[in-house]
Amino acid sequence: RRIRVGAIPFVVRPTGRNFVRIELGHMRRDVSALEPSDAPDRLVLPVGVAVKGIEVLLGADCKCRLTGMEIGWLSLRYTGGKAQRVPLIVGGNVDCSRLPFATQVERRALRCDPSVESPTSVAAFTVPADARRVLREMEVHVFAADATLALLAVNLVENSPRAKARRNKRSLKRSG
């Protein structure tokens, strides 16, 4: 299913396992200790092409005390060893799905059953990449307790208009 968040189009499966949960764990106030999550605290996605940028669609659930704090990072690793790290900041490029307020994202409201506590929005942001280098992989890492990310989709922003035209032509053939 195609959804548009601001000017960014994404394709998300409407049923089944359609996101990856990334979190470290949650602080238990009763014993002042971290209860580790059964979810991974990082996700590495192989890329293998040169791109102008990465578009990310996220849902997030973070305790309000984390507002303004770095809870993790997104790292772009290029062949040859160069890396680019983008901090994930609650209220900046990470938005809370239940009470959205981030300033550096595009957001889209979700239709939800009001009787069930569920996310009300998702957020998207773009990370510029070094278009002259091959992007080997992208990693999303959460290192703060009480912060959960749901990675829903990732788009690669291609370098050449010709490559984009080929992709659109293939897409039209599949849908037509």
Owner of token pair 């040169």: 50
The mean of the pLDDT values for the chain is: 83
**Pairwise CA distance, residues 13 & 55, whole Å:** 17
* Token duo for residue 109: 């409201």
DSSP state of 15: S
32-81 pLDDT, tens digit per residue, is 788 888 999 999 999 999 999 999 999 888 887 788 999 999 999 999 99
DSSP-assigned beta bridge partners for residue 159: none
> pLDDT band at 139, cuts 50/70/90?
very high
Q: Cβ–Cβ contacts within 10 Å for residue 17, how many? A: 6
Among candidate residues 75, 62, 67, the one with its CA nearest the CA of residue 148: 62
> pLDDT band at 133, cuts 50/70/90?
very high
Cα distances (Å, whole numbers) of residue 27 to 56, 142, 162 = 27, 14, 50
Q: What is the dihedral of CA 152, 61, 43, 127, to 10 degrees?
A: 70
